Amino acid sequence: MSDLARSAMSARLAKLPSDLPPLSPEEEEESKNSLGSLPGSGLGPPAMCAKPNPAFAPISASSFFGQALQVVVPRRNLDCRVYYTPPGDSQGGGTVMVLQHGAGYSGLSFACMAKEITEMTRGECGVLAVDARRHVSTLANPNEDTDLSIDVLVDDFVDVIQTVYPDTTVSPTLFLIGHSMGGSIVTRACPVLLDKKYKVGGVAVLDVVEGSAIEALPIMNSLLNARPDGFDSVEDAVEWHVSTKTIRNATSARISVPTIVTPSESSSSNVPPIVWRTALRSTAPYWESWFLGLSSRFLTVRTARLLVLAGTDRLDKELMIGQMQGKFQMVVVPGTGHMLHEDDPTKLAEIVVDFWKRNERLVVGIKKVGEL
């Protein structure tokens, strides 16, 4: 994006939370890689050894979010990609569900769920999905971009919120929803946003528990070794995710997977034409920081709390005690895997919309979930 386009976008974001004006022709062209033809539809020729399967061709995200935007955060040298559908009552604040993806994924992993939320609430709830640094189209200072420690990711998240909603007196009520690594980010960001006088109606963590995550760290490299180094085409990447049940919803995979792969810059015939955009092995030094202390932070966050899991066996001792004490709401979604919000976006949307209704639209005398 040109400096002129960035300046124009920064000026326009300062006017939020009102609905955002349409992109200029130049900016529209810049955003086509996420809303229009997604990354993947123009990622270069596929490998000659395999013909792309049209059943797994990329699907545009243009009907799932209202806009794709680059949010410039000068104090962090960050140019952050967000996907945004404003709330219907944007002039009066309204409610926005802020969605943070897990490691290696993108904001478009929430595309199907976001559309369901918008439709279920008849536009009353807006959605804002954020791409973390070193993921997809979020750009940072190359000298700082290598740091994916939890403090850096939380500061990024908070500063993006402050840039999008600079005036806390008219900003919407925020419901923070994070998957895996993103769950740790939103949990830690909540107290910071509350201290800055933002209204946070609740925090929802999707399929991550501190105990299970820490226990799994020693075998993470083995799990990554089971992944292919790359693919012959974007369609091949989508098909791999679906066939291995990494993502069990082909429609969601066709939207999100093209954003997490990229054309290889290598001319070597040993390197696949399409490779992973984020090298997860390089993030290993930060894995422990993402999850250590997550359970206690989640249980003490000063808002309503929701934990959504793909299986009950994922609870650690601290959360089991907290659940028995009624400190948070827990929902298990059967028939899903780790990417539960992609596997069953309708069910996940129903869960978070119900969570919003219970904790934003309160009847006198009823306490929020987690408030004893």
Q: Is 135 a catalytic residue?
A: no
Cβ-Cβ contacts under 8 Å for 56 (sequence gap 6 or more):
235, 236, 238, 239, 242, 250, 253, 254
Beta-strand (E) ranges in the chain? 67-73, 78-85, 95-100, 125-130, 139-140, 173-179, 200-206, 230-231, 261-263, 274-276, 304-309, 329-332
Options 207, 232, 236, 343, the catalytic residue: 207
Q: Is 264 a catalytic residue?
A: no
Options 31, 106, 180, 184, the catalytic residue: 180
The distance of Cα 114 from the centroid of its chain, to the nearest Å, equals: 11
Q: Is 338 a catalytic residue?
A: yes
Exposure class string for 301-331: b at 16+ Cβ within 10 A, else e: bebbbbbbbbeeebbbebbeebeeeebbbbb
- Asked if residue 348 lies in contact with residue 327, where contact means CB atoms within 8 angstroms, the answer is no
8-state DSSP, 42: T
Options 252, 338, 343, 344, the catalytic residue: 338
Quick one: angle between helices 345-360 and 111-120, nearest 10?
Answer: 50
Residues acting as catalytic residues? 180, 207, 338
